[in-house]
Amino acid sequence: MNLILLGPPGAGKGTQAVRLVQDFPIASISTGDMLRAAVSEGTPLGLKAKSFMDAGGLVPDDVIIGVALERLRADDVRDGFLLDGFPRTVGQADALEQDMEETGRKMTAVLLIEVEDEEIVRRVSGRRVSKSGRTYHVEFDAPKHEGRCDIDGSPLIQREDDKPEVVRERLSVYHEQTMPLIEYYDERGLLRRFDGSRSPTEVHDHIRATVATLRLEDAL
């Protein structure tokens, strides 16, 4: 099975990716992991990506596409993959589709986790982190003593990426660059929608049932 996880930042894609690869024997691939691996291995594309990352710039589409397609030819991907964070644009999706046609593979489904913008802002901006890296949430998982870590007593901070204005900017980029993929994959009959406002377990149960059904259909 070849799957893509789609949804806004903070929708819980990472959580669902971890659970799905425990359910099904496929490789989980995130854009961040993919880039870090290419840089660590010192591949030509990895070194090219590193030059942009070191300069604090965005890695261009052609480099991202090159690194992704290179990763999808690795041995551990032969039995299928779950992509999180790629493709992010229609151009990347076109490149992926062409490569899969050339290598005789097909996409099984695109799993869209839908969450309203304000709920995303509420979720992400409420996160607080301790010095040791333990994460809390002011509403959903508050510490026993406000502003202090339960384990080491260190002050809790809000990361820059979690501030409401930064979250809204990331959502704006998602709407502009990534949301067109919803129509792109819907037109191809690949899109499956999931209500990301539900609990992670409920979302997982729904996704797992859908993927299990697709797997059975593939086997027929």
Q: What is the pLDDT of residues 1-21, one digit of tens each?
A: 999 999 998 899 989 999 999
Among candidate residues 88, 168, 208, 215, the one labeled active-site is 88
36 is catalytic: no
Q: Which of 49, 22, 19 is nearest to 33 (CA)?
A: 49
170 is catalytic: yes
In the chain, where the domains are located: 2-26+79-115+178-219
127 is catalytic: yes
Average pLDDT, the chain: 91
Within 10 angstroms of residue 181's Cβ, the number of other Cβ atoms is 20
Among candidate residues 13, 71, 123, 128, the one labeled active-site is 13
- 2-26+79-115+178-219 is classed CATH 3.40.50.80: no
Q: Which of 63, 17, 15 is nearest to 38 (CA)?
A: 63
pTM of the model: 0.87
